[in-house]
Amino acid sequence: MVKVENRRRLNIIVLESDESVLMRIERILSDVSDIHIIGKASTKRQAQELMARYPFQMLVTDLSLPDGLSLDLIRQCATSRPECDIMLLVNSGENPHIVSAIESGAKGYVIKDELEINLIAAVRLLQAGGSPVSPDVAKSVLRALRTQATQVATVNQASMPNPLSEREAEILNLLAKGMSFNEIGDILAISPHTVTAHVKKIYRKLQVHSRGEAVYEAAQMGLFR
């Protein structure tokens, strides 16, 4: 007898100005019994009204909207609803505002062209406390954070001590490139279980809880080579 996992209902608000993208998201999630889109918005103003009216656990939002960037809305959601997960919809990994979105409170990303392949898995991962980031987005974020960290280090030469071991630093660099635990294990000739153990140590030392947070904190500390 197969045991069916019982999941709590997940209420989502989707903020996206492109009607075709909204329709794709609705179609993809229509057959998932425990995921419900309780509100759709195409502007920040509409989204604020929905956020004030309905209880929800996840905000899925585009960055560029008709009434401006959604960064202030992301900050508002992260501050007023810290238990809420925020996931970005991006056209590509080259969006210049992704780092600002991380700083504002976004925890995960999905590329619009990959919705049919990755949306449900990304929602599940974010729901479980993970940080869904595609390899393209991870590379873009890493480049931007490295530039930012270099600028910070130039202003303040008193760099923070590196709390990571050499192996942990290797693994963090590979994580930042969007590689899976299995891929990292193959590259470093270690088992995925060993990779998992190292990642837990990395998270503990950097005082973070996800891949995205680890990459951001490490870049701020100037730990990437």
The CA R_g of the chain, rounded to the nearest whole Å, is 18
Q: What is the DSSP letter of 205?
A: H
Ranges of residues in the chain with a pLDDT under 70 are 1-7, 93-96, 134-160, 224-225
Residues 6+ apart with CB under 8 A from 87: 58, 59, 60, 61, 106, 107, 108, 109, 110, 122, 123, 126, 132
**164-188 confidence digits (pLDDT tens):** 888 998 998 888 877 888 889 999 9
Domain 10-132 has CATH 3.40.50.2300: yes
pLDDT at 44: 92
CATH topology assigned to domain 138-220: Arc Repressor Mutant, subunit A (1.10.10)
Domain chopping of the chain, boundaries: 10-132, 138-220
Contact 108/122 with Cβ under 8 angstroms?
yes
pLDDT at 131: 76
Distance of CA 95 to the CA centre of its chain: 14
- What CA–CA distances, in Å, run from 77 to 37, 53, 56, 90, 101? 17, 13, 11, 18, 12
pLDDT at 147: 61
pLDDT at 7: 66
pLDDT at 3: 41
> Environment class of residue 74 by beta-carbon count within 10 Å: exposed (0-12), middle (13-18) or buried (19+)?
buried
Query: Mind giving me the DSSP string for 105-167?
Result: T--EEEEGGGHHHHHHHHHHHHHTT-----HHHHHHHHHHHHHHHHHHHHH---PPP--S-HH
